[in-house]
Amino acid sequence: MKTLNLYGTQDLRYEERPNPVMTGENEVVIKVMAVGICGSDVSRYKKLGPYIEGMTFGHEFSGEVVETGLKVDQINVGDRVAGCPTFYCGKCHSCLKGNISQCEKLTLIGARHPGAYAEFVRLPATHVLPLPDNVNYEAAAMVEPSSVVAHGFYRTSLQPGSTVAIMGCGSIGLLAVQWAKIFGAKQVIAIDIDDQKLEIAEEIGADVLINPTVHSPYKRVAEATDKLGADLAVECAGSPITSEQILALPKKGGEVLYMGIPYANVDIERFYFERIVRNELRVIGSWNAISAPFPGKEWESTLHYMSRGQLNIQPLISHRLSLKEGPAMFENLINQNGSFIKVMFYPHHTI
């Protein structure tokens, strides 16, 4: 089968590999129909390198079941499915408490297990979710990142009628715009330096748009909230600058949700750090997409709201490519040659 395999930093190769072979009676093999590039993939490609040299990369995917193990009875050949790529140990302190997203040995396909930048992928049947009839493969490949966002929102105390400020309008931020509305936000403020992304944010529900190169997010959020600030501010960009600036956006007693991952040191000016103390902010970190019982309510909720049309995925997909174009696309991503939101590969189609 055709695959994309990571051998080192900025060394992604388009290669033939053997098709996956089931090693257990509770596994399934899935024909990958769509698979997206995650921001963490770009960071690992650019400067972190593979967990295992030559590992087949990628983890955000959907597809069709083509083979099932002897003991699999809930999933059938021909089922259209999304796949949860994450594995937890079930034995560490966090897992025993039911906090499986905090597992000491958390890992996923594309890291220490062969991933989904491939024509076929193997998973335990417990990691596979059948799709509603009206959820297509492109949307289903976004179930995992949507579940990441939902996981974060479930950790907050967001109430209907609240104001939510979202910093960073990549795919995670644009999903956060929609999840904020699902959670009942009255006003959603979208912040990004890319006007094209802000236009998409407005299309999918954002009420106020802020470009920090033109207006101060701190001042504009204050203006939009009668000088109170947002009930919840969500950091989705994962840059050192936004990780600092997000602290000035909530109201007194408000919340900050960190979902972006800054792959550099974060130096915080006194003004921003004092917001935590003086405004008595609640600062929340969120990691991954799973909860107990596995894979968690995040996944069920995502499929539900996708089927209802409240999670609109199509505007988020900026590029549609074949796997063969993968190495060149990753180079474009790290060199920022263009405007990107979600890049999607179609392993069984030539685009």
Show the 3-state SS of 247-264.
HHCEEEEEEEEECCCCCC
Across the range 186-206, mean pLDDT stands at 97
- Judge whether residue 253 has pLDDT over 80: yes
Mean pLDDT of the chain: 97
Q: What's the pLDDT at 339?
A: 86
Instruction: Report d(CA 28, CA 24) in Å as an integer.
Output: 9
Q: Summarize pLDDT for 279-310 with one digit per residue, the tens.
A: 999 999 999 999 999 999 999 999 999 999 99
Average pLDDT over residues 97-125: 97
Region 70-74: what's the mean pLDDT?
95
Intervals of CATH 3.90.180.10 along the chain: 2-146+289-345
Mean pLDDT, rounded, for 221-235:
98
Q: Which residue has the tokens 């236009």?
A: 199
Q: Which two tokens stand for residue 221?
A: 């959020």
Residue 262 confidence class, pLDDT cut points 50, 70, 90: confident
> In the chain, how many H helices and how many E strands?
11, 18
Which pLDDT score is estimated for 27? Answer: 98
- Long-range CB contacts for residues 333-336, cutoff 8 Å, separation at least 24: 333/37, 333/42, 333/45, 334/10, 334/42, 334/45, 334/46
Q: Answer yes or no: is pLDDT of 351 > 60.
A: no
- The C-alpha atoms of residue 347 and residue 4 are separated, in whole angstroms, by 10
Average pLDDT over residues 79-88: 98
Mean pLDDT to the nearest integer, 61-69: 98
> Is the domain 2-146+289-345 a CATH 3.90.180.10 member?
yes
Instruction: Give the residue among 175, 219, 235, 222 at the shortest CA–CA distance from 201.
Output: 175
Band (263; pLDDT cuts 50, 70, 90): confident
Mean pLDDT of 13-17: 98
Locate the DSSP E strands across 220-329.
230-235, 250-258, 282-285, 317-321
Query: Which residue intervals of the chain bear CATH 3.40.50.720?
Result: 156-285
- Give backbone dihedrals phi and psi of 164, rounded to 5 degrees, phi first: -125, 130
Does an H or E element contain 208, and which?
A: strand 208-210
The enclosing H or E element of 188 equals: strand 187-191
Residues 6+ away with beta carbon under 8 Å from 334: 10, 42, 45, 46
pLDDT value at 224 more than 60: yes
Phi, psi of 199 (to 5 degrees): -65, -40
CA distance 209 to 187: 11
Residue labelled with tokens 């069984």: 348
Which are the contacts of 103, defined by CB distance < 8 A and separation ≥ 6?
88, 89, 90, 92, 94, 95
Count of CB atoms situated within 10 Å of the CB of 297: 15
The yes-or-no verdict on residue 93 having pLDDT over 70 is: yes
pLDDT of residue 338: 79
% of the chain residues with pLDDT over 90: 96
Band the pLDDT of 7: cuts 50, 70, 90: very high
| Residue 166 pLDDT | 98
Contacts of 15 (CB under 8 A, 6+ apart): 2, 3, 4, 5
Round to whole Å and give the CA distance between 126 and 118: 21
Partners of residue 319 on adjacent β-strands: 343
The Cα–Cα gap between 237 and 171 comes to 10
pTM of the predicted model as reported, rounded to 2 decimal places: 0.97
**pLDDT at residue 350 in the model:** 56
Cβ neighbours, 10 Å, residue 332: 15
Position 264 scores a pLDDT of 87
Instruction: Over range 229-236, report the average pLDDT.
Output: 98
Q: 154 is written with which tokens?
A: 């479930």
pLDDT at 1: 97
Residue 74 amino acid letter: Q
Which helix or strand (DSSP H or E) is residue 27 part of?
Answer: strand 27-36
Mean pLDDT of 143-152: 98
Decide if pLDDT at 2 tops 60.
Answer: yes
d(CA 5, CA 116): 10
Token duo for residue 191: 């912040």
156-285: CATH topology is: Rossmann fold (3.40.50)
Q: Cα angle vertex 210, ends 193, 156, to 5°?
A: 100
